[in-house]
Amino acid sequence: MILRKIAIAVGVVSVAATCAFAQDPIQTRQAAMKFVGGAAKQAGGMLKGEKPYDAEVALAALTKMNEVASVFANYFPEGSETGGETTVSPKIWEDMAGFQAAVAKFEADTAAAVAAAPADLDAFKAAFGAVGANCGTCHKAYRVSKN
Which residues of this protein are in contact with ligand HEC, per CB under 6 A?
Answer: 26, 29-30, 33-34, 36-37, 40, 65, 86-88, 102-103, 106, 132, 134-135, 138-139, 142-143
State the nearest-atom distance from the C-beta of 133 to ligand HEC, in Å. 9
State the nearest-atom distance from the C-beta of 32 to ligand HEC, in Å. 8
141/8 Cα distance (integer angstroms): 30
Is 4:22 a contact under the CB 8 Å cutoff?
Answer: no
Residue 13, phi then psi, degrees to nearest 5:
-80, 120
Cβ proximity to ligand HEC: between 34 and 125 the closer is: 34
Compute and round to an integer the Cα radius of gyration of the chain: 16
Cβ proximity to ligand HEC: between 17 and 138 the closer is: 138
State the nearest-atom distance from the C-beta of 112 to ligand HEC, in Å. 14
Closest CA to 63 of 106, 29, 114, 112: 114
Cβ proximity to ligand HEC: between 18 and 70 the closer is: 70
- CA dist 66 to 39, 81, 107, Å? 11, 24, 5
State the nearest-atom distance from the C-beta of 90 to ligand HEC, in Å. 11
What is the amino acid identity at position 106? F
